[in-house]
Structure 1
Amino acid sequence: MPSGSSDKGAKSAKAIKAASKKKPTKKGGVPGAGAKGRRQIPWLTIGAVVVVIALIGVLAANLYPKYQDRVEAQKFAPSESNQDPSTGIEGVVVKQYPAALHVSATQRVAYDESPPFGGPHDQVWANCMGTVYPDAIRTENAVHGLEHGAVWITYNPDDLSADQVSDLAAKVDGQQYTMMSPYPGLDHAVSLQSWGHQLKLDSPDDPRVDQFISALRLNRFQYPEVGASCSTTPETFDVDNPPPFDPTAPGADAVPMDGAGITPDATETGAGSGLPTDLQIPTGTPNP
């Protein structure tokens, strides 16, 4: 056999042997690494990211409307040029009442409104330092708190769910010069009172709740006793055991709204924004 043929045969044998030592190809005939080299999709990481994004979306959907409500409410803050921003809130009733007319703990007042928002009241005020009362309280004590610049939120316990009461209480709890209590027999779901002002609403979610509070809580132009305290002690007014609400109609001996027979308290007369204590009480007129 010629030497050339022998060399070609030897080379072919070496090529076949070398080829037999090569690593197998991937499925599909693509050369490369085995299963260990395959890229894994990080499904757990992707799932976690999706969950986080969804949570952010839910929080934004819930918090942004509340933020908008706060921004809108701040537009009703009082100023020298706009001393009663509540006149721009639809449904607010404004009346004028004489101040500093005190009754004793056993006397009733023949209030002209329910809940009342001005007129004669108990000489001791209800604690209004962001106090949420679980039970109805005596109206004569609550009205005195209004004279000190507080906003009193009342609600019909038969009209609101526990969650609605909790949401409403969040606007009061810890907020100085506010208080909240149920008011049995209330003709609306919610009613807000400040001295000489009232707003009745059918829903606690109404943005006018925040607007009313912004316009009238500690509005020095609208209540008689600017600088008066809303704090109490257990000896004067026990927050844990306050005088109870009396649902019965005042008797014939109830003190009239003009305070006939009562001498204005000299320590309070002339206090606050300068509102005279001998104002007559006109018919309340709601804003359009």
Structure 2
Amino acid sequence: MASGTKKKRSSKNAVRAARGSVVARRGFPWGTVIAVVAVVALAAVVVTYYLVQSAPKRALAQWTPSADNPDPSLKIPGIVTVQYQGSVHILPTERVAYDHSPPFGGPHDGYWAACNGIVYPNAVRTENMVHSLEHGTVWIAYNPDQVSGDALNKLKAKVEGKPYTMMSPYPGLDKPISLQSWGHQLKVDNADDERIDEFITALRTNQNTYPEVGASCDALGPGQFDPDNPPAFDPSPPGPDAKPMNYQGSTGAQQDTTGGMSTAPAAPTSASQ
């Protein structure tokens, strides 16, 4: 009897030992745990990358024009706005006594400055640059004595290859950087100012803020406006013959048509000169 009991116990112990041996051989499932951790880590990296990369766009979303918010720029601290009459043209030989420096609206040359993502290395005649603003362009002007190196490259990156955007030095500028769109201006102290991107997002081709929606920004070429040899900036104060801000246009000045130019004469020259 005792012998039989011992055999049963021995058999049970053998079974337990066999099971323990199998468990020991299987061990802890490290491979599965490592795989799960790797997947979770990869997902975290992807989400983090997306959040970091999309952060600038998400931050600028509130500055995108909409039916409910046609001119978001009005909420940008430091913005200056003025109402200007559009389509008032002067001759290439004439100047305008602008009310702001740089100007951002008012009478202007009949030929617009090329403005499809161009960075002008030298200062350009103001009257041509203002015409481009009338077409929905943002113009970044900078003081060449104050902006150079990395700061200049940061500004260039916001312009080069970007439709309806242009940039040029502006000698004598009272701030390092000044942004212009038609009827809007913002001056800032450095190229890292987040308001620069807010201004561009809110106003470039914002159809609620400029007169000639659909007008071209392409280069006109030699004899009109050649971006490779543009008319030079004149730093001298406008003379007594400069056209005032309430000027109504010069006879014979080029006139815009949708996407192009017209050689039809302007309205008769205003008596106010």
Tell me what 1:83 maps to.
70
Tell me what 1:251 maps to.
239
Indicate the RMSD between aligned Cα atoms, in angstroms.
2.4
Tell me the CA shift for residue 88 of structure 1: 1.0
Task: State the alpha-carbon separation in 2 of the partners of residues 130 and 220 from structure 1.
Answer: 19
Alignment of 1:19-34 (within 5 A): none
Tell me what 1:98 maps to.
85
Task: State the alpha-carbon separation in 1 of the partners of residues 228 and 249 from structure 2.
Answer: 33
Alignment of 1:135-214 (within 5 A): 135-214=122-201
State whether structure 2 residue 114 is matched by structure 1 residue 124. no
Tell me, what secondary structure is at the counterpart of 1:75? helix
State whether structure 2 residue 83 is matched by structure 1 residue 115. no
8 Å contact 1:101–1:265 — kept in the other structure? no
Task: State the alpha-carbon separation in 2 of the partners of residues 67 and 207 from structure 1.
Answer: 15
Distance 1:106 1:265, change over 3 A: closer
Task: State the alpha-carbon separation in 2 of the partners of residues 217 and 205 from structure 1.
Answer: 19
Larger Rg: 1
Task: State the alpha-carbon separation in 2 of the partners of residues 263 and 72 from structure 1.
Answer: 47
Task: State the alpha-carbon separation in 1 of the partners of residues 114 and 104 from structure 2.
Answer: 16
For 2:241, the aligned partner's letter is: D
Distance 1:112 1:228, change over 3 A: same
For 2:142, the aligned partner's letter is: Y
Identical aligned pairs, as a percentage?
A: 56
For 2:247, the aligned partner's letter is: G
Higher relative contact order (CA 8 A, sep 6+): 1
Q: What TM-score results when the alignment is normalised by the length of structure 2? A: 0.72
Task: State the alpha-carbon separation in 2 of the partners of residues 266 and 87 from structure 1.
Answer: 32
Task: State the alpha-carbon separation in 2 of the partners of residues 240 and 205 from structure 1.
Answer: 29
Task: State the alpha-carbon separation in 2 of the partners of residues 265 and 108 from structure 1.
Answer: 13
Q: 2:228 aligns with which of 230, 234, 240?
A: 240
Tell me the CA shift for residue 233 of structure 1: 3.0
Tell me the CA shift for residue 202 of structure 1: 0.6
Distance 1:245 1:67, change over 3 A: farther
Q: What are the superposed Cα offsets for residues 187-222 of structure 1, whole Å, 9 maximum, x if unpaired?
A: 111000000000000111100000000000000010
8 Å contact 1:72–1:211 — kept in the other structure? no
- The number of residue pairs the alignment matches comes to 210
Task: State the alpha-carbon separation in 1 of the partners of residues 185 and 81 from structure 2.
Answer: 7
Q: What are the superposed Cα offsets for residues 58-103 of structure 1, whole Å, 9 maximum, x if unpaired?
A: xx8xx94x75333322320101111110011111001000111101
Tell me the CA shift for residue 240 of structure 1: 1.1
Q: What are the superposed Cα offsets for residues 145-165 of structure 1, whole Å, 9 maximum, x if unpaired?
A: 000000000001111122211
Note the residue ranges of structure 1 that are not aligned, 5 or more in a row.
1-55, 272-288
8 Å contact 2:215–2:257 — kept in the other structure? no
Tell me what 1:31 maps to.
none
Q: What TM-score results when the alignment is normalised by the length of structure 1? A: 0.68
Task: State the alpha-carbon separation in 1 of the partners of residues 112 and 130 from structure 2.
Answer: 7
Distance 1:263 1:69, change over 3 A: farther
Note the residue ranges of structure 2 that are not aligned, 5 or more in a row.
1-44, 260-273
Alignment of 1:15-94 (within 5 A): 64=52, 67-94=54-81
Q: What are the superposed Cα offsets for residues 33-72 of structure 1, whole Å, 9 maximum, x if unpaired?
A: xxxxxxxxxxxxxxxxxxxxxxx9xxx8xx94x7533332
8 Å contact 1:74–1:211 — kept in the other structure? no
Tell me the CA shift for residue 262 of structure 1: 4.4
